[in-house]
Structure 1
């Protein structure tokens, strides 16, 4: 009979303004957790988009390389040694570096991430590259990332209007022969793709024999783990051997552990969780205090502590559920704002929505457990 009485709901809504303030506080905490975790994931996703697009199974790096923004060159002879291993079908050297981009109209300079490879080989599965392979083969021609920051100029618009687009990178004039889309990251604001020959023309201090990334493609049906172990065992120790997923994890680990950025976002999410816990505790504590005599009456007529604790727990779950939805809605709007402002790939994911929901419920339950200590004061003898 008593379960049919919505006592937790009536308790919470008895003072409607306090109830609304509680939901706003929980919504703010939920929004803060969503925003921090979303930015952290966007950081990781933007950092590995190039990695995911690479057409390979195994990657060679210098042991001194720490991330794509801090690559160290190594001799390409290691890559061609790998070509002699069983199961290896082909290899492709890749060059990466930051060039000084100069907007010829504004004369403003900024760094741009440059990727160079042999255009006769399939290196990346980015959809626009195959259509522009012939352009990449031309001297002093490059492809521009249409998702680069607007500070690089109106290159995509000029190109789409049929204009001849000439740019300057590290003092070298280049023609934009096509567009592709990779996107910005925390490490780079824009990207260029060019042939390995053009790369070496732009970066005159670089040597053709020293590469930054070595891509290894295996024959169909080959056991990738076996080849990976064989390369690690028999290839010279002057090179690091990673699987494609290992290369992705390598990049993510750098941003998560070797910089303050990952820690800051995690800390922000923890602060949101803590703020929400305090807000819910204050609301539940005030609610229990205001209705202490009613709780004592329920005890006097035979209701157990378990029932009263259940009421507070149900109030916690109600607050968690109703506070989560507006917090999530606000987060979706903020994601859109951040994406438009920064061009980062921030979006809601099911796993993140589930994680924040679980954190919200946990946050409210912890608050409920603490607030329930006040119920010990609900003694009918003392109250009456």
Structure 2
């Protein structure tokens, strides 16, 4: 009969105010971890949007390449050398560089990422881009990313209202602007390093960036013949191409970019540190809650021990309390986080999105946090002596 008495619940619910404060503390820690992991995931997802949407099976980059936003080009001839291998069906090139776009309303200039390619063939998996390839063949025409941040002005809104939109872009070190016409929209979105994107033909790209040589490209896209093994072709190209280029699969290209942001930049370290710190803060908070609860009910625990209840039963009560706190604190935490995710997504245009993976990770972290606190807080309970209490 004794196991049917909900001792853990009765102890927690006896002091309702303390119980609610405890749940609020755990919910706060859960929200903190949700936000950290949400922004961290948004960092990686946004930083690899280009790689995910490129056509091709293998990709050539400079051996000096660090990240997509750091310009490291290599000779175009490497593409033609790769085309000489039997398993390569076709090759294409992509130019990328930062420019400054002049807001047509207030005249202020903001950095924007420019992607140039030959519109004779699709290099992106984005339907909106592929539908407008013929428009890009015209001189001085661009496609504007409607997912860009608002500082560039109401360019997407005006175009959607069928108003003619002309914008001025500047090479990053140029004082003279180059006027282009917006001929279409697409959706790629910003990242932690990019506020917005433009797509243009490679001929317009060279006009905007007059210091760039068309013989040096930033990314090479390799399409394999049907049935070719990407790993074998990658090994063959890596062995025979000069050392100034590196060959990657799509997954390798994405992982390379993620590794840069997580390991080689302060922001990746900060996100990882904050997740760990949030977990540690949660352990301390729950420890204080459980330790205080044990101390205030120490006489009751001593009485149960004197009646013959073993340490296993008493410790089980504390661990049940930790489990109850974890679940009841997690529930408001996830709902608050969903609201904050939507708020952050609308404010930053970053892909801060709740997913089942995040929900399960934080649920596990919350349970582990509370159970760890329970283990640490039961030291006093293990050695309690009924004779000393009474």
Fold conserved between structures, TM > 0.5: yes
CA distance in 1, matches of 2:352, 2:91: 33
CA distance in 2, matches of 1:325, 1:271: 21
Q: Does residue 208 of the first structure (1) align with residue 214 of the second (2)? A: yes
Alpha-carbon distance, 1:270 to partner: 1.6
Whether the 8 Å CA contact 2:64–2:244 is kept in 1: the answer is: no
Q: Does residue 305 of the first structure (1) align with residue 328 of the second (2)? A: no
Deviations 1:149-181 (A, max 9, x none): 111010111111111111011111000010000
- Superposed, which structure 2 residues align to 1:254-269 within 5 Å? 254-269=260-275
Q: Does residue 375 of the first structure (1) align with residue 381 of the second (2)? A: yes
Alpha-carbon distance, 1:121 to partner: 1.1
* TM-score, reference length from structure 1: 0.99
Indicate the residue corresponding to 1:163 in structure 2.
163
Indicate the residue corresponding to 1:49 in structure 2.
49
Q: Does residue 365 of the first structure (1) align with residue 371 of the second (2)? A: yes
Deviations 1:216-272 (A, max 9, x none): 011111111110110001111111111111111111111111111111111211221
CA distance in 2, matches of 1:100, 1:20: 52
In the alignment, structure 1 segments of 5+ residues that lack a partner are: none
Deviations 1:169-219 (A, max 9, x none): 111100001000000001110100011111111111111100000000111
Whether the 8 Å CA contact 1:144–1:193 is kept in 2: the answer is: yes
CA distance in 1, matches of 2:178, 2:382: 78
Whether the 8 Å CA contact 2:31–2:334 is kept in 1: the answer is: yes
Alpha-carbon distance, 1:122 to partner: 1.7
Q: Does residue 173 of the first structure (1) align with residue 179 of the second (2)? A: yes
CA distance in 1, matches of 2:388, 2:161: 84
Indicate the residue corresponding to 1:87 in structure 2.
87
Indicate the residue corresponding to 2:69 in structure 1.
69
Moved more, 101-110 or 144-153: 101-110
Indicate the residue corresponding to 1:143 in structure 2.
143
Indicate the residue corresponding to 1:244 in structure 2.
250
CA distance in 2, matches of 1:252, 1:85: 30
CA distance in 2, matches of 1:305, 1:206: 75
Indicate the residue corresponding to 2:351 in structure 1.
345
Indicate the residue corresponding to 1:16 in structure 2.
16
Q: Does residue 235 of the first structure (1) align with residue 259 of the second (2)? A: no
Q: Does residue 281 of the first structure (1) align with residue 287 of the second (2)? A: yes
User: Which of 195, 198, 203 is the equivalent residue of 1:197?
Assistant: 203
Indicate the residue corresponding to 2:97 in structure 1.
97
Indicate the residue corresponding to 2:173 in structure 1.
none
Q: Does residue 291 of the first structure (1) align with residue 297 of the second (2)? A: yes
CA distance in 2, matches of 1:249, 1:372: 43
Stretches of 4+ aligned residues off by more than 2 angstroms: none
CA distance in 2, matches of 1:376, 1:185: 52
Alpha-carbon distance, 1:26 to partner: 0.3
Provide the secondary structure at the position in 2 that maps to 1:240. Answer: strand
Deviations 1:18-57 (A, max 9, x none): 1100000000000000000100000100011111000111
Deviations 1:335-375 (A, max 9, x none): 01100000000101211111111111111111101110111
- Superposed, which structure 2 residues align to 1:113-128 within 5 Å? 113-128=113-128
In the alignment, structure 2 segments of 5+ residues that lack a partner are: 171-176
CA distance in 2, matches of 1:160, 1:52: 26
Provide the secondary structure at the position in 2 that maps to 1:188. Answer: coil
CA distance in 1, matches of 2:24, 2:104: 50
Provide the secondary structure at the position in 2 that maps to 1:197. Answer: helix
CA distance in 1, matches of 2:31, 2:40: 14
CA distance in 1, matches of 2:261, 2:102: 28
Indicate the residue corresponding to 2:153 in structure 1.
153
Q: Does residue 108 of the first structure (1) align with residue 108 of the second (2)? A: yes
Deviations 1:281-325 (A, max 9, x none): 111111111111111111111110111011111111111111111
**Number of matched residues?**
384
Whether the 8 Å CA contact 2:338–2:354 is kept in 1: the answer is: yes
Provide the secondary structure at the position in 2 that maps to 1:128. Answer: helix
Alpha-carbon distance, 1:274 to partner: 1.5
Indicate the residue corresponding to 1:30 in structure 2.
30
CA distance in 2, matches of 1:196, 1:208: 8
CA distance in 1, matches of 2:165, 2:368: 56
Whether the 8 Å CA contact 1:64–1:71 is kept in 2: the answer is: no
